Structure 1
Amino acid sequence: MRSERASQAESDVAAAVLIQRNVATLARLIEEACASKQKPDLVVFPEFAMQGPPLHMDVASWIARACSSIPGPLTALLQELAKRQGIYIAGNMFEAPSEWPGRYFNSSFLIDRNGEIILNYRRVNTAAFPSVHDFMSDYLAQTHQADVFPVVDTELGKLALIPCGEISVPEVARVMMMQGAEVILHPTNSKFTAAQEAAKLARVAENMIYLVSANVAGPIGFSPDNSIAGGRSHIIDHHGNTLAYQDDDGESVGVTAMIDVEALRRDRRTDTGLSNPLLRARYEMYVPYYTEAKFYPPDAFLDAPMVSTSQTRAAIATARANMERAKILTPLPPGASEPVAPTAH
């Protein structure tokens, strides 16, 4: 679907109208999919579909303008729709939960056939938004381990959600697979890069897992001038075979396929040497290295929430220094300055 950006609205009131228009568009497309000859059991919609990204907005302003709870006012229509149509709906929105005042998250959620929210994953790895890692000690103390990288068991299979560029972080999908995940639902809002397209296939191959990737139609959220297109929604099976794909950025409900979870379960049990990466994985060998991997500092915003994403520069500087000590990064020559990259998420 195409979505409008609340951050570019003239006022909070105008943003609220825009968000409701996005939600209505989303509902219309889901109804269209349900009216097709092959009614889906599960629909996945793109990242930023409801609100767009915050772009230049500081944390407090974005919370006031666009964020909501999960469940909450922005999910209510979708919950009613899922119950009425008897389907699952998966997607993404910016969440500002009451239990964590002053903080918002890029959250991905799943609604079941009864209209209930049964999964909510708050993204960990992000560049442009706050993260639960920013106050990890408090978050882990109050969040059950199974809810940090959640997986839910349904009659469709064991489902998990990973948003957008976080598909490039192998550990996220791996931890979800270790909790039984069989299908990764991937709401994304991304331009074409060979690296991210490869990452999708890599996560599938590493974990013998299905991937359902739904990208935005029209321009991506991080293209304020609308010059960078989305597209490339993709469904991939657990062997890396494409089941459905749309390269262009046109609005469509046509990227659809049957997911054979029983075949996945059979193939995961079959010893095919290293072509089955699960049966022969030796995870214990890696534990000491992960234990010593202390780079980006946790709890960077433990005492007070982030006010602006520009505050992450200090944490990035710490990560660089830690990686220099670990000889991952080569120190800059005296007098040289750090390279500047465009904003990413």
Structure 2
Amino acid sequence: MTTIKLALCQMDVIDNKEENLKKASSMIAQSVEENADFIILPEMFNCPYSNDKFIEYQEEEKDSPTLNRISSLARKNNVYILAGSIPEKENDNLFNTSYLFDRKGEIIAKHRKMHLFDIDVKDRITFKESDVLTAGDDFTIADTEFGKIGIGICYDIRFPELARIMVENNALALFYPGAFNMTTGPAHWELLFRARALDNQVFCIGVAPALNEDASYHSYGHSIITNPWGEVLAQAGLKEEIIISEIDLDEIKKIREELPLLKNKREDLYEVAKK
């Protein structure tokens, strides 16, 4: 049996980087006490979710105080940590980037958000990440001791092609640090995680910041784990909390044998339709 004990750290992100890092460190420590193997932080866990703050809080990978802190904690506690995302600067570009650390504190994968959050829901919410951020171009499938995992960020989950490509490259679980808002969250957050898990018969995990009503952007929270049958195994509310939950990757084989969706795909027809 291949199991992973996950810790989803739904933290309250404020406008103070050092305090955010202290909170992340505290939640990691609590997760370690619960014997978690794999700890996940939210999208922009060190930074308020707004374009001006992305610029203010930006860090370069090679001398990032945030990444150095997380690396040290992964190594000290012998755990995997998916550092949700941070505003990462490279040359003149700014990216929304997630980093995966192994038990030795080494970066074994990084994902730059591929689909930028440019939306305008009339009279409700408008946001345009592309005003300051650059989109990433790489698919991110990481090798871990548990098997391969795929990584996306928030808005990336709305694009089923990305999830399918990660699964076709043998990812058994898909992780999406995210920060849906109080408009799109109630409407789509759970639906999307259940759909991506069901369509691809994998585990799908989302970790978001808690709702901070004093912030300019209101995160929906509701960090979530869905299984290959499309069921919700665990889900947070709006407030700060840690979800500790164990997933059994062997469930994937069982469900794919019972309902062989991936095997029954008509690739012959799809290829013809693309031409």
TM-score, length basis structure 2: 0.82
Q: Residue by residue, what CA displacement relative to the aligned partner does 1:23-43 show, whole Å, maximum 9, x if unpaired?
A: 11111111012123xx10001
Cα distance change on mapping 1:23 and 1:284 into 2, 3 Å:
farther
The aligned residue for residue 45 of structure 1 is 41
Confirm or deny: 8 A CA contact 1:162 1:187 kept in the other structure: yes
Displacement of 1:209 in angstroms is: 0.9
Which of residues 194, 198, 211 in structure 1 aligns to 2:204? 211
Percent identical residues: 24
Cα distance change on mapping 1:103 and 1:237 into 2, 3 Å:
same
The aligned residue for residue 30 of structure 1 is 28
The aligned residue for residue 2 of structure 1 is 12
The aligned residue for residue 318 of structure 1 is none
Structure 2: stretches of 5+ with no match in the other structure? 1-10, 119-128
Which of residues 244, 247, 262 in structure 2 aligns to 1:256? 244
CA distance in 2, matches of 1:74, 1:288: 47
The aligned residue for residue 255 of structure 2 is 267
State how 1:1-345 maps to structure 2 within 5 Å. Answer: 1-5=11-15, 18-36=16-34, 39-55=35-51, 57=52, 62-63=54-55, 65-70=56-61, 72-90=64-82, 91-97=84-90, 101-126=91-116, 127=118, 128-129=129-130, 130-132=133-135, 148-191=138-181, 192-219=185-212, 224=216, 228-246=218-236, 248-253=237-242, 255-268=243-256, 270=257, 272=258, 275-287=259-271, 290=274
Matched position secondary structure for 1:53:
coil
Matched letter for residue 241 of structure 2: S
Matched position secondary structure for 2:30:
helix
Confirm or deny: 8 A CA contact 1:168 1:200 kept in the other structure: no
Query: Which has the larger displacement, 182-191 or 67-76?
Result: 67-76
CA distance in 2, matches of 1:115, 1:86: 8
Matched position secondary structure for 2:22:
helix
* Structure in which a larger fraction of residues adopt strand: 2
Displacement of 1:151 in angstroms is: 0.7
CA distance in 2, matches of 1:260, 1:79: 26
Higher relative contact order (CA 8 A, sep 6+): 2
Confirm or deny: 8 A CA contact 1:34 1:85 kept in the other structure: yes
Matched position secondary structure for 1:193:
helix
CA distance in 2, matches of 1:164, 1:204: 15
Displacement of 1:92 in angstroms is: 1.1
Q: Residue by residue, what CA displacement relative to the aligned partner does 1:73-124 show, whole Å, maximum 9, x if unpaired?
A: 2111111101111111112111112xxx211111122111010111111111
The aligned residue for residue 326 of structure 1 is none
Confirm or deny: 8 A CA contact 1:109 1:161 kept in the other structure: no
Matched letter for residue 161 of structure 2: E
TM-score, length basis structure 1: 0.66
CA distance in 2, matches of 1:3, 1:53: 9
Q: What is the aligned residue count?
A: 247
Matched position secondary structure for 1:4:
coil
CA distance in 1, matches of 2:95, 2:115: 11
Cα distance change on mapping 1:286 and 1:70 into 2, 3 Å:
farther
